[in-house]
Structure 1
Amino acid sequence: MAKVKSRSTLKVWGDVIFAIFLREIKSKFNDKVGISWAVISPVSFIFALSFMRNTLSGGIDVHGISTFLFMMIGMTLVQFFLGTMQSTANAIKKSKPLFSFRQVQPISAILAISGLEFLIKLFVVVVLGVISYLFRIDITISDSIEVIFNLTKLWIIAVSLGTIFSVAYCFVPELNKIVDILTRPLFFISGTFMSLQDIPEKYWGYLTWNPILHIIELTRYAAVPQYGNAGVSDFYVNVITLLFLFFALSCYHISWKQAISR
Structure 2
Amino acid sequence: MPSSVTPTDETQLRPAHKQRRFASLRAIGALILREMSTTNGRTAHGYVWAVAEPVGGIILLTIIFSLGFRSPPMGTNFAIFYATGLVPFMFYMSLSGKVAQSIQYSKSLLAYPAVTFMDALLARIFFNTVTQILVSYLIFTGIYLTQETRTDPQITGIALSLLMAFVISVGAGTLNCFLFAAFPWWQSAWSILTRPLFIISGIFFIFDDVPKPYQDYLWFNPLTHVVGQMRKSFYPSYIGDYVSPVYIFSVGLTLMAIGLALLVRYHRDLLNS
Q: What TM-score comes out, normalization by structure 2 length?
A: 0.85
What's the offset of the Cα at 1:64? 4.2
Judge conservation of contact 1:64–1:227 (CA < 8 Å) in 2: no
CA distance in 1, matches of 2:220, 2:101: 26
Q: Deviations over 1:60-109 (max 9, x none)?
A: 45334742222102111111111111111111011111122212111111
What is the one-letter code of the residue matched to 1:238? F
- Which runs of no fewer than 5 residues in structure 1 stay unpaired? none
Judge conservation of contact 2:125–2:170 (CA < 8 Å) in 1: yes
Equivalent residue for 2:64, pick from 52, 56, 68? 52
What's the offset of the Cα at 1:146? 2.5
What's the offset of the Cα at 1:17? 0.5
Equivalent residue for 1:116, pick from 120, 127, 151? 127
Equivalent residue for 1:165, pick from 163, 176, 183? 176
What's the offset of the Cα at 1:164? 1.5
- Secondary structure at 1:227 match in 2: coil
Question: May I ask how many residue pairs the two structures share in their alignment?
Answer: 258
What's the offset of the Cα at 1:230? 4.0
RMSD: 2.3
Q: Are 2:237 and 1:226 aligned?
A: yes
Judge conservation of contact 1:132–1:139 (CA < 8 Å) in 2: no
- Secondary structure at 1:71 match in 2: helix
CA distance in 1, matches of 2:17, 2:261: 31
CA distance in 2, matches of 1:228, 1:247: 34
What is the one-letter code of the residue matched to 1:149? L
Judge conservation of contact 1:13–1:103 (CA < 8 Å) in 2: yes
Q: In the TM superposition, what are the counterparts of 1:169-184 in structure 2 within 5 Å?
A: 169-184=180-195
Judge conservation of contact 2:83–2:140 (CA < 8 Å) in 1: no
What's the offset of the Cα at 1:156? 2.2
What is the one-letter code of the residue matched to 1:179? W
- Which runs of no fewer than 5 residues in structure 2 stay unpaired? 1-14
What is the one-letter code of the residue matched to 2:170? V
**Which residue in 2 is equivalent to 1:242?**
253
What's the offset of the Cα at 1:138? 3.1
**Which residue in 2 is equivalent to 1:41?**
53
CA distance in 2, matches of 1:215, 1:253: 29
Judge conservation of contact 1:189–1:207 (CA < 8 Å) in 2: yes
Judge conservation of contact 1:144–1:223 (CA < 8 Å) in 2: no
What's the offset of the Cα at 1:16? 0.9
CA distance in 2, matches of 1:47, 1:242: 32
CA distance in 2, matches of 1:94, 1:160: 18
What is the one-letter code of the residue matched to 2:37? K
**Which residue in 1 is equivalent to 2:205?**
194
Q: Are 2:90 and 1:72 aligned?
A: no
Judge conservation of contact 1:16–1:108 (CA < 8 Å) in 2: yes
**Which residue in 2 is equivalent to 1:152?**
163
What's the offset of the Cα at 1:259? 1.7
Q: Deviations over 1:183-233 (max 9, x none)?
A: 211101111111112211332122111111111111211222212214332
Judge conservation of contact 1:197–1:230 (CA < 8 Å) in 2: no
CA distance in 2, matches of 1:241, 1:139: 33
**Which residue in 2 is equivalent to 1:135?**
146
CA distance in 2, matches of 1:251, 1:69: 40
What is the one-letter code of the residue matched to 1:79? M
What is the one-letter code of the residue matched to 2:55? V
- From the superposition, tell whether residues 6 and 214 of structure 1 become closer, same or farther in structure 2 (CA, over 3 Å): closer
CA distance in 2, matches of 1:139, 1:155: 28
Segment drifting more, 193-202 vs 84-93: 193-202
CA distance in 2, matches of 1:53, 1:226: 24
**Which residue in 1 is equivalent to 2:9?**
none
Q: Are 2:240 and 1:252 aligned?
A: no
Q: Deviations over 1:123-181 (max 9, x none)?
A: 21222134224314437444312221221221222122112212222222222111111
Determine which structure has more spread, i.e. the larger CA radius of gyration: 2
